[in-house]
């Protein structure tokens, strides 16, 4: 059996593109009468996606952390008031909010049922490992990782029933880190959760897709500019004994320079999210990034760790 494995793998690699081409020739999904729930719609990708799906004809449930906030009110105005777009309170760290969201969706399901769940809500911050307290690690795990899992588990019965789609927001930062290891940690974990879920859901006709954006900080505002003074003021005395203000300032300047280079066109990522929800043959992963970002991922995935460490260490030294 194992002796034939390389031949079978080669055959599979040759047939997969043909199978995908045939499936892509099929008609795209008809959005009318299908519901999609999106988390994190106050701003950024979630906000843009909610409006795009609404224009396409989906019934959209837009989960917002602050349903009375500026972002949620703007979303309702831009969608033209009530109708197929409903804004709801959804803090993915609160099981009560998730249950209430499910009840709302069930009570307002359109004729074709529940089609998609987009786990978009997320937070980001900067800081070397010892600079951040345990409470911050717990918060990030709860929002970026457990929040997506919590919402997914609640809606799995509906997704299985209607053979729908689940879309997760990851990042190329799942492959490497440059000062935001806490964010990388949660994205790497969600990638593995999705890998397991994707295989398990195939037998139910449910497809699972991962979106991997590059640096889109200016278009999403997920990561505001870093203040060296604030970082220093929050460091423990033990960390202050190891680092100095100059080092913290250098790291903050480096990270801020990366943020400023990010893309301002969030619709590039939304295009991938829409394809994941509507294509007859969605990809398992959509990497939406600049060429140099993709090259960094390539090096990280295929080269020995020592090579990647050298590349990143060089970047940090600059």
**Tens digits of per-residue pLDDT, 63-74?**
999 999 999 999
Closest CA to 231 of 125, 140, 316, 143: 125
Give residue 16's pLDDT: 55
Distances (CA, A) of 278 to 24, 35, 116, 124, 126: 11, 12, 10, 29, 35
Query: Taking residues 289-310, what's their average pLDDT?
Result: 90
Q: What are the tens digits of pLDDT across the range 38-61?
A: 999 999 999 999 999 999 999 999
Domain residue ranges in the chain: 30-223+265-317
Out of 175, 183, 216, 286, the active site residue is 183
Residues in the chain: 318
Would you say domain 30-223+265-317 falls under CATH 3.40.50.720? yes
Asked about 183 being catalytic, the answer comes back as: yes
**Cβ atoms < 10 Å from Cβ of 105:** 22
Helices (H), the chain: 5-24, 44-56, 70-78, 95-107, 134-140, 147-162, 181-201, 217-220, 228-234, 237-242, 245-260, 267-278, 291-302, 305-317
DSSP state of 280: S
pLDDT digits (tens, 9 = 90+) for 210-242: 999 999 999 898 888 889 999 999 999 999 999
How far apart (Å, rounded) are the C-alpha atoms in residues 236 and 192? Answer: 33
Question: In the block, which residue shows the tokens 């299908």?
Answer: 34
- Please tell me the predicted confidence (pLDDT) of residue 95: 98
* Tens digits of residue pLDDT in 295-304: 989 988 888 9
Q: Choose among 144, 125, 138: nearest CA to 223.
A: 125
What strand order describes the sheet that includes 165-169?
Answer: 85-89, 59-64, 35-38, 114-119, 165-169, 207-213, 285-288
- The Cβ of residue 164 has, within 10 Å, a number of other Cβ atoms equal to 24
């Amino acid at each position: 059996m194992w002796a034939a494995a390389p031949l079978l793998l080669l055959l599979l690699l040759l047939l997969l593109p043909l199978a995908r081409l045939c499936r892509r020739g099929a008609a795209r999904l008809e959005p009318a009468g299908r519901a999609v729930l999106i988390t994190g719609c106050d701003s950024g990708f979630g906000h843009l996606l909610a409006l795009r799906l609404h224009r396409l004809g989906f019934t959209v449930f837009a989960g917002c952390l602050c349903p009375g906030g500026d972002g949620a009110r703007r979303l309702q105005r831009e969608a033209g008031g009530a109708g197929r777009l409903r804004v709801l309170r959804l803090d993915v760290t609160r099981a009560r909010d998730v249950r209430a969201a499910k009840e709302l969706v069930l009570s307002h399901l359109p004729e074709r049922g529940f089609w998609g769940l987009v786990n978009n809500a997320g937070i980001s911050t900067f800081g070397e490992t010892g600079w951040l307290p345990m409470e911050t690690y717990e918060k990030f795990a709860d929002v970026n990782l457990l929040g997506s899992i919590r919402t997914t588990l609640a809606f799995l019965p509906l997704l299985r029933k209607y053979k729908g789609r689940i879309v997760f927001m990851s990042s190329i930062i799942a492959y490497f880190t440059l000062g935001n290891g806490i964010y990388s940690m949660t994205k790497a974990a969600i990638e593995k959760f999705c890998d397991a879920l994707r295989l398990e859901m195939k037998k139910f006709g449910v497809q699972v897709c991962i979106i991997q954006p590059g640096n889109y900080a200016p278009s999403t505002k997920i990561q505001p500019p870093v203040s060296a003074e604030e970082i220093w003021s929050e460091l423990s005395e033990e960390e202050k004994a190891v680092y100095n203000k100059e080092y913290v300032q250098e790291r903050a300047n480096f990270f801020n320079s990366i943020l400023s280079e990010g893309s301002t066109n969030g619709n590039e990522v939304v295009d991938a999210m829409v394809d994941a929800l509507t294509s007859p043959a969605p990809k398992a992963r959509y990497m939406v990034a600049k060429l140099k970002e993709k090259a960094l991922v390539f090096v990280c995935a295929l080269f020995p760790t020592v090579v990647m460490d050298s590349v990143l260490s060089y970047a940090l030294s600059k």
